[in-house]
Amino acid sequence: MSGYVLGNFLIYCVVNAFTPGPGNILALNTVNTYGWRRGRPLFLGIFAGYYVVQILCALIVYGVSAFIPNVIGVLKYIGAAYILWLAIHIAISKPTQGIEEKSASFLKGFMLQFVNVKIYMFGITALTGFVLPHNSTLAALMFYEIVIATIGTIATMTWIGMGVLIQRFYMKHWRFINIVLALTLLECVYSMLWQ
């Protein structure tokens, strides 16, 4: 994988991981509602679920690429369309407040990741668009999914750690931040399709 493609892979991962999604919003809301100590089981569930889902994504992509190789070419364009949709959605979206949770359990955080379409699309798109054209071994796919899950975990920890500060900053500068993130994702679409 060239440095250019690797750089765009990392940009895509950081933008996708740090933008608001179900896990980040739930973590932010939980730390604001319960604090770090009482919210810790839910946070650990989110982290564990993230790794399990990304490993599943690697296995799915490996299976599809090994047994139905022609599908991967199509998945790259579907992934590029998803990133384009994500860029448009980020550019036009307005900030929202999280939904208040009744409890902060490990199981709730863990199970959230299994219904979190964003991280499935995140993992599969990253592999089919950036990694698979350069390396299709199961070990490489697993490695990059672990990188993705680690970046996602760091992003969620950032949302937890910054708590209200991120929310206030984002609420104040949301339009500019969303436009910059959307333009960055458009660069990722370019690198997927034309590099």
pLDDT exceeds 70 at position 99? no
- In the chain, the percentage of residues whose pLDDT exceeds 70 is 88
More confident residue, 181 or 129: 129
Q: What is the mean pLDDT of residues 96-124?
A: 76
pLDDT mean across residues, the chain? 82
Token pair 């991981």: residue:
17
Question: Hey, how many other C-beta atoms are within 10 angstroms of the C-beta on 194?
Answer: 6
Domain chopping of the chain, boundaries: 3-194
Q: How confident is the model at residue 11 (pLDDT cuts 50, 70, 90)?
A: very high
The pLDDT assigned to 41 comes to 94
Do residues 14 and 86 lie in contact, with contact meaning Cβ atoms separated by under 8 Å?
no
pLDDT exceeds 60 at position 20? yes
Q: What is the mean pLDDT of residues 62-67?
A: 82
**What is the reported pTM?**
0.74
The pLDDT assigned to 74 comes to 74
Token pair 């060239």: residue:
2
- Report the phi/psi class of residue 35: left, alpha or beta, with left for phi > 0 and alpha for psi in -120 to 50: left
For the stretch 36-48, pLDDT in tens is 888 899 999 999 9
